[in-house]
Chain A
């Protein structure tokens, strides 16, 4: 069974940085495309970033140039480095397989950007 456990969220000031992690188990991570999806309070889900098995990467326009997705297949882990954080980045962040959410979601990690 697919299991995804996100961590690394917290309270950060505007302009600050955070690194999110996702521990994956129950499937062959190294053969799996992965995504980050976020959901702001009271809003719908928003796709953030995608990384393929070969390392092809895509970003949403809203985060391009500020966020960096990466993976460590040896550790079955997915990461999201978030820099220059803005108020509008406040959300619960989920890592997902591909397509997003077809496999079970993790519990997410809350990122709050506020002064």
Chain B
């Protein structure tokens, strides 16, 4: 089982909201981790969006709009990237990242389509 699991795809309409999940493997407690989120568009490296561990330990990337935010769902053992007011330019791949057992681990990514 992968350390981090992300849904392969998500579709939503312009103006809608989207919640992207990053589920940690059973036995790895999401509460203990800072989760980093990145957006990647074709032809460019991933761009840092934000990191979230708790409401008192979070950071927004420089220039990243406030409609991108992070949270956790402890019951699902998952980190969440919430995008409000989806815009066409939000269509991209999104990746989560944690530091676990001496390694940086990326999730497999979620492709967001804005229909």
Chain A positions within 8 Å of B, measured between CB atoms, are 35, 37, 39, 44-47, 50, 58, 60, 94, 99-102, 105, 108
Contacts and interface: CB of A to CB of B under 8 A. Distances in A.
Contacts of A46: 106
A108 B36 CA distance: 21
Contact of B99 (A44, A99, A101): A99
B103 interface: yes
A35 B104 CA distance: 9
4 A-B pairs with the lowest CB-CB distances in the bound complex, closest first: A47-B104, A105-B45, A44-B109, A58-B102
A47 B103 contact: yes
B78 interface: no
A39 B106 CA distance: 11
Interface residues of B, number: 21
B52 interface: no
Contact of A101 (B38, B102, B108): B38
A10 to B, nearest CB: 20
Chain B facing A: main interface SS: strand
Interface string B32-48: 00001010100001111
A100 B99 CA distance: 10
B104 A99 contact: yes
A47 B97 CA distance: 10
B106 A99 contact: no
B50 to A, nearest CB: 10
A45 B36 contact: no
Given A99-B97, A100-B97, A108 B106 contact: no
Given A44-B95, A44-B108, A44-B109, A105 B46 contact: yes
A107 to B, nearest CB: 8
Contact of A45 (B95, B102, B103): B95
Contacts of B48: 101-102
B105 interface: yes
10 contacts: A44-B93, A44-B107, A45-B45, A45-B46, A58-B103, A101-B36, A101-B38, A101-B48, A101-B97, A102-B36
